C-alpha cells in the first residue's frame, strides 16, 4: 500500500523536527555568536518544533487529536518561559536558560516521536483515547 500524501507530509515533518532539535543542541557551540543571538535562535527552534509537531499530530490519521492538547500545554510552558526571559521575573543563568529551552524542545520532540503510541487511533489497530 502506497503512503498517502498526508503520511508523507507527516514523515517530512518528523524529519524536520529531528533536524531542528539537533540544531538547537549545537547552538551554544556555534563560534562567534553572541548570547542574544543564541537565545533568539534557540527560541525560534523551540517554536518551530512546537508548530511542526502540532501540525504533524493534526494531519496524521494514526494519531488521535488528544495529542495536540499535550503539545499545546508544552507550548504554553515555553511561552511562559519566553516571557520570563523577556521580563526577567525569575533569573536563571544563561547556560540554564539554554538547557531549559533545549529541554522543552526535546520534550516536544519526544511527543512527536511517541504520538502514535501514546494517542493511537483505530487506524493504528487500537482505540483512541476519549
User: For the chain, what are the domain ranges?
Assistant: 5-121
d(CA 20, CA 17): 5
% pLDDT > 90, the chain:
45
How large is the average pLDDT for residues 44-54? 93
Tens digit of pLDDT for each residue in 58-93? 898 888 888 889 999 999 999 998 888 888 888 888
pTM: 0.83
Question: Can you tell me which residue has the cell 515533518?
Answer: 13
Overall size of the chain counted in residues: 130
Amino acid at each position: 500500500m502506497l503512503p498517502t500524501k498526508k503520511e508523507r507530509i507527516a514523515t517530512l515533518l518528523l524529519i524536520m523536527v529531528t533536524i531542528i532539535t539537533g540544531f538547537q543542541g549545537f547552538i551554544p557551540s556555534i563560534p562567534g555568536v553572541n548570547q542574544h543571538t543564541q537565545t533568539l535562535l534557540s527560541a525560534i527552534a523551540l517554536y518551530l518544533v512546537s508548530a511542526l509537531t502540532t501540525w504533524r499530530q493534526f494531519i496524521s490519521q494514526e494519531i488521535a487529536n488528544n495529542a495536540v492538547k499535550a503539545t499545546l500545554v508544552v507550548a504554553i510552558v515555553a511561552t511562559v518561559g519566553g516571557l520570563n526571559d523577556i521580563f526577567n521575573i525569575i533569573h536563571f543563568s544563561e547556560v540554564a536558560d539554554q538547557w531549559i529551552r533545549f529541554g522543552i524542545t526535546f520534550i516536544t520532540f519526544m511527543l512527536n516521536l511517541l504520538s502514535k503510541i501514546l494517542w493511537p487511533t483505530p487506524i493504528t489497530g487500537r482505540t483512541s483515547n476519549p
